[in-house]
Structures are given as structure tokens and as C-alpha cells.
């Protein structure tokens, strides 16, 4: 018989972090944002556990470079060629941008080709340890996913491997036999249509709790992927014990994200000389990697057995990525001072999470300038 689990699964908007007296931190400057990660398969990396999504719009060189130079982690999307990635590696080396936290993404389809691509990167462009691989599939439950993961691990024994996406803890242990980081989240993304088209998905807060618990029991790590609306959600993910957070939408409106700025004209409610005032607003394109747009661009069209599980959006232009990254670092550090955590690593130990019906006061939101 089909069962309905009685527990209500929670999302970021259902919770808040309750400030409390902890160790006395005088300033946000005293918070250590960087953390040492000791991975299950033997490697270590250091940084603030934030990734850009491995999507064509934000998994690009310019976004990756900025995150890496801020001590964060970065992915590159899987549609770059070996030579394009190679040239990027070379430019980072000359500009002294650290590459220790850069993840190269591969897909599940044509695994042999994908592994050869990584080997070519190794032989042609000296992509040697430290090296990191992201194996990405919208649905890591499909049969061949585990085989591909095992194959990648057998070929790159010394790599840090992140694999996903999944949305239940039952699969975590199996994946951690080969992977170091499990990417968790199905249906939460801002450009995602999976929940609409398939009815499948799990709210992020409950998912993080469940997967972190299982993964940490065997020294695995998790990355909470998708659904970050506000920087506070990143703080919540860390407080819930997610080791990493991956985000797309919050980076997609920046100068560094791929795509041109699109200008649109808007009629405002203001009237001057009997005419409505027209305003120009700037936008950037952001699309899901399972959208029809992405299928047309990268896979020669939608297969006739598929439905589009992603949308194409024009989202407000937000300016320099540096400003967003600064806000993230400031927000996370400030959260630590509210809960008395001296470092990001300690956030989950210090946080008290409360369930709420109303997390934000939006009364003047439409008057924002």
C-alpha cells in the first residue's frame, strides 16, 4: 500500500536560527570562515564551503575565478572542451589564483569519453593532484550512476569526488564508497521544473538533516544544492550541518555570469506631464540545465521521450559578483556572532533552529529602490 510519511518536511523558509549567548565574539572579523575538510578518501582541502552551480550560466570561468580567489570552491560546467579548461588553468596559474578547490564537472552519459576528457586534461595541461571531480546528474538514482562513479574513482584514486544529485539518505552510504561529497537536492532550484513535471522533490532543511547525519557517520560530506533565496539560507544550511552549499540563482544576475545584459522597458505608476514614466531595467538570462533551451543548445534538441524539467528566465541584473560574495561572507560571519560560533565549522554545534510560520517582514518590499 502507498504510504504517506506523517512527518512534515521543512524548507529554508520554514525555519530561523535563534540568536543566543555563546562564546563572546567582539566582531565579525573574529570569525574564521575557512574550514579544513578531511575527506573520506584521504584528501584534504581548505576554504569556505560555497560552490557556484555547475550550470552553463554560472559554472563559467569568470564566476569560478572570483569564488576561488575569495577562498571558496568552484565548479566548471561540463560543456567546456579540454582546451578551454586547459587555457583557464593556465591563466589561473599565471594570475596566482589557487586551483585547489576547482571542480571539473562530468556527466553520466558517455562515461568513457568523460574519463578520457579528464585524462587528456591531465596529460596536456598538467591537471594533477590536487584535483577535484563533480559527477553531475539531475537524478543520481538511475542504474548506471553508481557504476560510473566507481569507474571514475578507479581511474582517479587521489581525487576529491562530489556526486549527485540525490534526495534521500538511503543512497548516501552506497555513494560514499566512492565519493567524498554527496550533492543533495532535487527540485529546489530556482530554474527547476522537476516538482511541477514529476511531483518529485524533498524540501532542503529536512533533506540536509537526514543526509548529513548518515554521511557524517562514515566521514562523508554533503553539499546542499539549490533553493538558496537569501544569504540567510546559506547560514541555515551550515547551521543544519551541511558541509557545503551550492547556488546558482544568486550568482546568475552578476556581471561575471554568462550571458548578455538584456534591457527591458517598463511603464511605472508615476505620471509626469500626463505621460507615464518609462523606466529601463536590466536582466540576465538564467536557464535550467534540463530546460528545453539547454537541450537545444547542448544536446541538439529535446529527445521525444523527455519533458523539460527546467525553465528559461530573465532575472534582474545585480552588478559585480564581488559584491554578492562580500555579502555572503559578511552574512555568514554575522550569523556566527549571533549564535556564538567562532568558525563556520562550529555553526551546527552552536545553532538552535526554530520552526516558524513567517520568516520575513515583507510589508515594504515593493517599495525597494
Residue 318, phi-psi category: left (phi > 0), alpha (psi -120 to 50), beta (remainder): alpha
What span, in angstroms and rounded, lies between the C-alpha atoms of 323 and 307? Answer: 37
Residues in contact with ligand 5GP, total (CB under 6 A)? 25
**253 near ligand 5GP (CB under 6 A):** no
Stretch that binds ligand 5GP, among 145-153, 216-224, 287-295, 296-304 (CB under 6 A): 287-295
Cell 523539460 belongs to 308
> How does DSSP assign 38-88, residue by residue?
E-TTS-EEEE--EEE-SSTTTSSHHHHHHHHHTT--EEE-TTS-HHHHHHH
Give yes or no for residue 194 binding ligand 5GP (CB under 6 A). Answer: yes
Q: Nine-digit cell at 250?
A: 544568486
Active site (annotated) includes residue 192: yes
Report in angstroms how near the CB of residue 54 gets to ligand 5GP at its nearest. 7
CB of 289 to ligand 5GP, least distance (A): 4
Residue found by looking up cell 548506471 in the block: 144
* 332-342 burial code (b ≥16 CB/10 A, e <16): bbebbbbbbbb
**Residue number with CB closer to ligand 5GP (58 or 82):** 58
Is 285 a binding residue for ligand 5GP by CB under 6 A? The answer is no
59 binds ligand 5GP (CB under 6 A): no
Check: CB of residue 56 under 8 Å from CB of residue 43.
Answer: no
Residue 147-176 contact track with ligand 5GP, rule CB under 6 A, x = bound: ------------------x-----------
Q: How far apart are CA 292 and CA 193, in angstroms?
A: 11
**Binding test (CB under 6 A) with ligand 5GP, winner from 107, 203, 220, 249:** 249
Shortest distance, position 60 Cβ to ligand 5GP, whole Å: 14
DSSP 367: G
The span from the CA of 92 to the CA of 37, in Å, is: 23
Q: Which of 114, 180, 210, 225 binds ligand 5GP (CB under 6 A)?
A: 225
Which member of 192, 211, 239, 350 is catalytic? 192
- The C-alpha atoms of residue 5 and residue 26 are separated, in whole angstroms, by 45
228 binds ligand 5GP (CB under 6 A): yes
Rounded alpha-carbon distances, angstroms, from residue 198 to 14, 195, 286, 291: 23, 5, 22, 14
By C-beta, is 44 or 198 nearer to ligand 5GP?
198
Pick the piece of the chain touching ligand 5GP (CB under 6 A) from 6-14, 34-42, 88-96, 184-192: 184-192
Taking CB under 6 A as the criterion, the residue among 57, 60, 254, 291 binding ligand 5GP is 291
Binding ligand 5GP (rule: CB under 6 A), the pick from 288, 292, 339, 346 is 288
Asked if residue 233 binds ligand 5GP (CB under 6 A), the reply is no
Binding span for ligand 5GP by CB under 6 A among 97-105, 106-114, 191-199, 342-350: 191-199
Tell me whether strands 352-355 and 132-136 are parallel, antiparallel or unpaired.
Answer: unpaired
Span near ligand 5GP by CB under 6 A; candidates 11-19, 24-32, 245-253, 327-335? 245-253
- Take residue 353 and report the three cell numbers written for it: 533552529
User: According to the binding rule CB under 6 A, does residue 289 interact with ligand 5GP?
Assistant: yes
CB of 229 to ligand 5GP, least distance (A): 8
Angle, CA 136 vertex, CA 134 and CA 141 arms, to 5°: 125
Q: What is the DSSP letter of 95?
A: T
Interface with ligand 5GP by CB under 6 A: which residues? 53, 55, 138, 165, 185, 187, 189-192, 194, 225-228, 246-249, 288-291, 309-310
By annotation, the residues acting in catalysis are: 192
Amino acid at each position: 500500500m502507498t504510504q504517506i510519511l506523517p512527518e512534515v518536511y521543512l524548507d529554508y523558509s520554514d525555519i530561523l536560527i535563534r540568536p543566543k549567548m555563546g562564546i563572546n565574539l567582539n566582531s565579525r572579523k573574529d570569525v574564521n570562515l575557512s574550514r579544513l575538510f578531511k575527506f573520506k578518501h584521504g584528501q584534504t582541502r581548505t576554504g569556505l564551503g560555497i560552490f557556484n552551480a555547475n550550470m552553463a550560466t554560472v559554472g563559467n570561468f569568470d564566476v569560478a575565478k572570483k569564488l576561488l580567489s575569495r577562498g571558496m570552491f568552484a565548479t566548471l560546467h561540463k560543456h567546456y572542451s579540454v582546451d578551454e579548461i586547459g587555457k583557464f588553468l593556465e591563466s589561473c596559474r599565471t594570475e596566482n589564483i589557487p586551483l585547489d578547490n576547482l571542480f571539473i564537472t562530468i556527466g553520466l552519459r558517455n562515461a568513457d569519453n568523460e574519463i578520457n576528457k579528464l585524462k587528456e586534461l591531465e596529460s596536456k595541461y598538467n591537471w594533477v593532484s590536487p584535483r577535484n571531480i563533480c559527477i553531475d546528474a539531475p537524478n543520481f538514482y538511475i542504474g548506471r550512476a553508481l557504476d560510473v562513479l566507481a569507474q571514475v574513482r578507479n581511474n582517479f584514486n587521489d581525487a576529491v569526488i562530489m556526486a549527485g544529485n540525490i534526495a534521500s539518505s538511503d543512497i548516501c552510504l552506497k555513494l560514499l564508497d566512492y565519493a567524498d561529497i554527496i550533492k543533495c537536492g532535487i527540485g529546489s532550484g530556482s530554474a527547476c521544473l522537476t516538482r511541477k513535471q514529476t511531483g518529485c522533490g524533498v524540501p532542503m532543511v529536512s533533506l540536509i538533516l537526514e543526509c548529513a547525519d548518515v554521511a557524517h557517520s562514515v566521514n562523508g560530506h554533503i553539499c546542499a544544492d539549490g533553493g538558496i533565496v537569501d544569504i540567510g539560507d546559506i547560514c541555515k544550511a551550515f547551521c543544519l550541518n551541511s558541509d557545503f552549499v551550492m547556488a546558482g540563482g544568486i550568482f546568475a544576475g552578476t556581471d561575471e555570469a554568462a550571458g548578455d545584459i538584456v534591457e527591458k522597458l517598463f511603464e511605472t505608476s508615476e505620471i509626469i506631464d500626463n505621460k507615464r514614466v518609462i523606466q529601463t531595467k536590466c536582466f540576465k538570462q538564467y536557464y535550467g540545465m534540463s530546460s528545453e533551451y539547454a537541450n537545444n543548445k547542448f544536446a541538439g534538441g529535446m529527445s521525444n521521450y523527455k519533458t523539460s524539467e527546467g525553465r528559461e528566465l530573465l532575472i534582474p541584473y545585480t552588478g559585480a559578483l564581488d559584491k554578492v560574495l562580500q555579502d555572503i561572507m559578511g552574512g555568514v560571519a554575522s550569523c556566527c556572532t549571533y549564535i556564538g560560533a567562532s568558525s563556520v565549522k562550529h555553526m551546527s554545534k552552536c545553532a538552535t533552529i526554530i520552526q516558524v510560520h513567517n520568516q520575513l517582514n515583507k510589508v515594504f518590499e515593493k517599495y525597494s529602490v
